[in-house]
Structure formats: structure tokens, C-alpha cells
Amino acid sequence: MATPTVAASAYANLARILDQGGAGKSPDSGASAGGPSFGELLKDAMGSIVDGGKQADQQTAAMTTGKANVMDVVTAVAETDVKISTLVSVRDKVISAYEDIMKMAI
């Protein structure tokens, strides 16, 4: 499970990536075949992770004031941990695929 410091750093990095992702888009950077682009899907996934992290943080803060149940906090943190683990797995697969493509002979 991620420590609070690691999680906070991950949330900040994802938020910065999302903010930078909106700048510099070309008008035709959207879907070419009627569906969302890979970049848009990735941006949505990262946004979901950031939202989950914020929800876990809010649940933790509510628990410290006695307004939330411990199980709600544990559930929110566990869901965020699963989302981050999934993102890391996808990242590893993308890097592996990129390395395989770079090894191909032209």
C-alpha cells in the first residue's frame, strides 16, 4: 500500500500532467475514427485516479473530525491503491511494447 507521502506526490504529478495535457492541443487531435483518442482515454484514467485520491483524502480528513467511518476511509484508500497499481501495470505494458517495437528491424 502506498504511503501518504508517495500518494500525495503521485496526485500532484498526475494533476500537473492533466494541466499540461490541455495546453497545445491541435484542433484535429480528437478522434479520427469517431472514438476518443488514446491520449484522451489516458487523460480520463488519470483524472479518475486523481479524483479517487482526493476522495480518499476527504474521507481521511472527515474521519479525523469524527464525521466518517473507518471502513469508508479504508475502502477509499484501497480503491485508490488499486487504481494506481493498475496505472503502473498499464505503464509497464506500454513501455514493454515500445521496447519491442524499437527492437524490430526495418
For residue 96, being part of any structural domain is answered with yes
For residue 93, being part of any structural domain is answered with yes
Radius of gyration of the chain (CA): 17
pLDDT at 44 over 50: yes
Rounded distance between C-alpha atoms, residue 42 and residue 71, angstroms: 30
For residue 29, being part of any structural domain is answered with no
For the chain, what is the domain count? 1
For residue 95, being part of any structural domain is answered with yes
Please give the residue range of the domain that contains residue 95. Answer: 36-106
Pick from 6-20, 36-50, 53-67: least confident: 6-20
> What per-residue confidence (pLDDT) applies to 24?
46
Taking residues 32-57, what's their average pLDDT? 82
For residue 103, being part of any structural domain is answered with yes
For residue 7, being part of any structural domain is answered with no
The amino acid that residue 15 corresponds to is A
Of 17 and 82, the one with more pLDDT: 82
